[in-house]
A and B are shown apart, each in its own frame.
Chain A
Amino acid sequence: MFLLAIDTTTPVCSVALGDEDKLWGEYTLNLKNTHSQKLMPLLVSLFQETRIDKDMLQGIAVTTGPGSFTGIRIGMATAMGLAQGWGKPLVSVMTLDALAEVGAYYPILICPLLDARKGQVYTALYRGEKGRARMLEPASACFADDLLVHLESYKEKILFPGDPLERTREKFKASLGEKYLEFPLLLLSNRASLVLKKGIQNWKELGPESPYALRPYYLRLPEAERRFKEQKKGE
């Protein structure tokens, strides 16, 4: 299953080409906020350098969130445009699912963390089971302190892939002590090869998706809508 994978939902801008057996190429930048300028040049040069013909591609895997709202849209709009232009299907990958792939081969708990602003993180909880990250708790946006209290109930070691704020990571490390699984930080950011792996799995289990049916996974309402709803509740 040969796929192009795209991720721009976090500070990372990453593209990859490959199948189950081989990563043919991958470009990853971790520079924040330049996705709209960087993504297409990376993608174009990935095709140039690997000399992979688009006819070899079966489809495009793209992260649909959670993450930066604008980042989600840049990656998705790009994937949807390519899919429409090439007439190829898409497969969506939830950002936290892709991050959980980092620990999928270890019998540990995996708790991806992404900065969700307003003092919150986007998170979910998984357990690594022989190459599968099995979801234990669904994605949510929550305060780091609440999540820490919740993680008390688990006794195993926990891996925290993702790009949370540095002080969030420090807090987790300090409060969890032994349970906090140390791992080189440079292996914890998202990258398109993780999206590729999860994308192949999603495709096989759920089938490909049409560019007209793909939906972003924001996990949060726009601020104005949230306030509007609260106001209505108050009336």
Chain B
Amino acid sequence: MLSKTVILGLETSCDDTAAAVVANGRNILSNVVSSQDSLHHRFGGVVPEVASRRHLEIINPLIDEAMSKAGISLQEIDGIAVSYGPGLVGSLLVGVSIAKALSYALDIPLIPVNHLEGHIYANFLTGSIITFPLVCLVVSGGHTSLLYVEGHGKIEVLGKTRDDAAGEVFDKIARALDLGFPGGPVIERHAQQGDSSVLSFPRALMGEDGKMDFSFSGVKTAVLNYIRMEQEKGSRTDIYALSAAFQDAVVEVLVDKSFMAARQKEAKQFLLAGGVAANGELRRRLRVKLEAEGIEVVAPPVELCTDNGAMVAAAGYYYLRRGIRANWDLNAVPSLEVGQ
């Protein structure tokens, strides 16, 4: 008989509350996400206390919804996987606390998942065959990291952002332009109607002695200064051209560094992950550049790029197979690093 391992994945590391049921780390039985975007919209960014409060309000009904959509009961679950870091401590604690209590009540393993690694595992849910070793770019509102993955649990950080995460910069520019929150999708929409060649913003750390760290504070400051200068002059900013030029600067850096990393590590496969991986321009240009060199690019569908429980459940499945289980004293670790 073929055995099936069913994992419930819980995700509350930032402003999305999510629960999902995944079988054998590959088949999504359900995946429900409650986005808090509308709650944080008026603040122009995620307010930790507001996010934590919302998580607590909706996590139980959300888990029920995930169970009923999957068509199974809590008693049929084989393990509970939860993001315990990195992220906002108050938010993480809601998921961690409820996961501990549920796994104790149901007498099943509690699996502590590194949220960043969770993003990588979103690619295991795409149906593509994932072959190690590979290189992965995790890029979101909280992170920008290039990772070399030799196998499950064998992850090396090749480079990461030294200041702002790419997604964070999208949010800040969108806020400066009064376009709302989150910034990624709205900037991308505006960029589609703009000419990116009209303006040019700095690309940081380009090709500097093979280093693969990122820095986005330069482009952020340049764009914000430009916006302020235009406002002072009283001229109307062409937000379409500005969005296009800004996106171009960020995407170019991401693509070039990704290419460099994949080539250096002689990877045959490249995975894209994280909220900013939903950006169409990034996906398109990454494919063009890497596939020309014979490197296959895998990217999850948009709903699996942003934070979700399915990626946590998928990661949890592979963690569990490696014998990783948490103790009852599991705590949230807001600055958890990859491979920690």
Contacts and interface: CB of A to CB of B under 8 A. Distances in A.
Interface in A41-87: 41, 43-44, 54, 69-70, 73-74, 76-82, 84-86
Contact of B96 (A36, A79, A224): A36
A184 interface: no
Contacts of A70: 52, 89-90, 93
A222 B53 CA distance: 9
Contact of A73 (B94, B100, B105): B94
Given A77-B98, A81-B99, A40 B59 contact: no
A70 B330 CA distance: 16
Interface residues of B, number: 35
B63 interface: yes
B176 interface: no
Contacts, number: 104
Given A69-B90, A212-B60, A228-B43, A81 B50 contact: no
Interface string B309-340: 00000000000000000011111100000000
Contacts of B219: none
Contacts of B98: 77-78, 80-81
Nearest to B96: A36
Interface on chain B toward A: helix, strand, loop, or mixed SS?
helix
A40 B100 contact: yes
A43 B99 CA distance: 15
A40 B328 contact: yes
A225 interface: yes
Contact of A44 (B56, B104, B330, B332): B104
A36 B93 contact: yes
A102 to B, nearest CB: 27
Contact of B90 (A37, A73, A224): A73
Interface string B219-252: 0000000000000000000000000000000000
B61 A81 contact: no
Contacts of A82: 101-102, 104-105
A224 B56 contact: no
B97 interface: yes
Nearest to B56: A73
Contacts of A77: 56, 59, 93-94, 97-98, 101
Given A77-B56, A78-B97, A222-B49, 19 more contacts: A36-B332, A37-B331, A40-B328, A54-B105, A69-B49, A73-B56, A77-B93, A77-B94, A81-B60, A81-B97, A81-B100, A81-B102, A82-B102, A82-B104, A84-B105, A85-B104, A215-B57, A224-B43, A224-B47
Interface of A: 36-41, 43-44, 54, 69-70, 73-74, 76-82, 84-86, 211-212, 215-216, 218, 222-225, 228
